[in-house]
């Protein structure tokens, strides 16, 4: 059925449930696992009284994002290895995480995506939309949403 499953994670508790589900599914199907993390985009500089304030340089932000990604993805790799699964990891810095998830699935030739259902709720979800909802809407691959 599925040969390579992409699991999108952000290191949250609900995301960890999605990782556990993806590992179980990959084990049952004899599939590989690709763990993916989409780091938030570089924060926009603030402008006040004609002065531009950047809280951190792009270079420093890229380094911090890579460290966060490594920590989150290492946890997935360890869980996959404990389950006897072959896995690989990937991350990107993305303004639109849903687009990064779909691009990663395509790049790594995945045939299914597993991700958590969490995101914004209420009015902010209506205005901004859910990353999971956007993946569901735009994906040509099966998407398994874990609650």
**Ramachandran region of residue 88, left (φ > 0), alpha (ψ -120 to 50) or beta?**
beta
Q: pLDDT band at 121, cuts 50/70/90? A: low
| Cα 134 from chain centre | 13
* Segment 40-45 mean pLDDT: 84
Question: 4-146: what CATH class?
Answer: alpha beta
Dist CA 141 CA 132 (whole Å): 13
- pTM for the full model? 0.88
Dist CA 89 CA 69 (whole Å): 9
Domain ranges of the chain: 4-146
pLDDT digits over 44-57, tens only? 777 767 776 777 88
Per-chain mean pLDDT for the chain: 90
Q: Tokens 């989150």 sit at which residue?
A: 72
């Amino acid at each position: 059925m599925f040969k390579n499953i992409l699991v999108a994670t952000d290191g949250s508790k609900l995301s960890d449930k999605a990782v556990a589900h993806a590992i179980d599914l990959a084990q049952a199907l004899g599939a590989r696992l690709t763990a993916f993390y989409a780091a938030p985009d570089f924060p926009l500089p603030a402008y006040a009284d004609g002065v531009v304030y950047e809280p951190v340089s792009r270079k420093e932000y890229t380094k911090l994002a890579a460290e966060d990604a490594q920590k989150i993805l290492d946890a997935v790799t360890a869980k996959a290895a404990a389950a006897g699964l072959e896995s690989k990891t990937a991350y990107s810095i993305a303004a639109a995480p849903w687009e990064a998830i779909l691009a990663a699935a395509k790049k790594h030739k995945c045939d299914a995506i597993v991700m958590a259902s969490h995101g914004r709720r209420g009015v902010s979800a209506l205005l901004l939309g859910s990353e999971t909802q956007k993946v569901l809407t735009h994906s040509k691959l099966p998407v398994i949403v874990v609650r």
